[in-house]
Amino acid sequence: MSSGEAHGMREASGMREDAGGDGPRPEGGPTHQADLGRRAEARRRELGLTRADVALRSGAAPEYIRYVEERSATPGIGFLLRLAYALDTTVAELTGATADLPAGTGEAAHAPELVTLDAEECRELLSTHGVGRVTVTLDDEPAVFPVNYTVDGDLVAFRTAADAAPAAAAGCRTAFEVDHIDDALSQGWSVLLVGTAQRVTDPRRVRGLEERAHTAPWAGGDRGLWIAVTPARITGRRILTHHGRPAGAPPPHAP
């Protein structure tokens, strides 16, 4: 055990810990989660793992995994390598070394397979929310803008300002695209929805979208105009590697 792990275990001993790994926060007020902890927790949740799962894979105690996620931990390179392996990623991804790089800078995997997703799979991926890209026409020229979005039934909706460029989608046929790239495993998926966009003016529908939204727009500002896209067509594709295992699926055998 490294000195960082030992220090973390001493501090972790003052925490309430349930065996499942996602229990109450530590005693003594709010935690001070560092970038490493946020990235590790986000990746773990993306894979659908508990802290106990990650602890087993990395050879650490669940209390220490909790400490790394919730505190300003400084683990040694040995543990970071084990943690990266447990989370099917790289140390560079966990420590933010690739944060300013565009997605897709990794090399292609050996013998990847591109498969078509059915409509149900596409809707399931859309429902994870996040950031999507909407197409608009400005001054007779095509443009694409990233927006935070929300799913309401079959509709995809996003907030913008009335005078912002994404608002130009209203009343037009548009395309809305969402994707996920995993550079560490050279895997990913994309979903494309094509349909007509309309402004949402019914106060009850606006209130419902506000309640469903998992976050305010990242761009900030006054973005109270909701625009909903009614899908006429939805398609998707996924890149499979590692003998057909999709991005985000845990390996069949882990240490």
- Determine the angle formed by the axes of helices 51-58 and 77-86, rounding to 10 degrees: 120
Question: In the structure, what pLDDT confidence band is assigned to residue 240 with cuts at 50, 70 and 90?
Answer: confident
Is residue 229 within 8 A of residue 174, CB to CB? The reply is yes
At 158-212, the pLDDT tens digits run: 999 999 999 999 999 999 999 988 776 788 899 999 999 999 999 999 999 999 8
Chain centroid, CA 202 distance in Å: 30
Type of residue found at 42: A
At 99-153, the pLDDT tens digits run: 665 566 667 777 888 999 999 999 999 988 789 999 999 988 999 999 999 999 8
Q: CA 12, CA 31: separation in Å to the nearest integer?
A: 12
